[in-house]
Amino acid sequence: MATQTLITKPVSQMRFAPGSFVTIPDVSWQEFEKILQELGEKRSARIAYSNSTLEIVVPLPEHELPRDLISDIVKLLLKATGKRYQPFGSTTFKREGTAGVEPDACFYIENYQRMIGRRRLEPTDPPPDLAIEADVTSKTTINAYEAIGVPELWIYANRTLKIYLLQDGNYIQSNTSPAFPNTPLTEWIPQAIDRAWEVGSVQALEELEAKVK
Question: Is residue 20, in this structure, part of any structural domain at all?
Answer: no
Say how far apart CA 46 and CA 167 lie, in whole Å: 26
Question: Is residue 68, in this structure, part of any structural domain at all?
Answer: yes
**Band (87; pLDDT cuts 50, 70, 90):** very high
Question: Is residue 18, in this structure, part of any structural domain at all?
Answer: no
Question: Is residue 81, in this structure, part of any structural domain at all?
Answer: yes
Question: Is residue 131, in this structure, part of any structural domain at all?
Answer: yes
User: Does residue 43 carry a pLDDT above 70?
Assistant: yes
pLDDT tens-digit profile of 166-190? 999 999 999 999 999 999 999 999 9
CATH for 195: 3.90.1570.10
Question: Is residue 39, in this structure, part of any structural domain at all?
Answer: no
Question: Is residue 47, in this structure, part of any structural domain at all?
Answer: no
Output the CA torsion sign for 161, 23, 41, 34: positive
If one counts the domains in the chain, the total is 1
Residue 154: closest CA among 90, 86, 112, 106: 106
**Band (7; pLDDT cuts 50, 70, 90):** very low
Q: Please give the residue range of the domain that contains residue 182.
A: 61-212
pTM metric for this prediction:
0.90
Question: Is residue 78, in this structure, part of any structural domain at all?
Answer: yes
Say how far apart CA 34 and CA 12 lie, in whole Å: 10
pLDDT (mean) for 119-124: 87
> Which residues fall within 8 angstroms of residue 145, CB to CB, at 6 or more apart?
101, 131, 153, 164, 171
**Band (6; pLDDT cuts 50, 70, 90):** very low
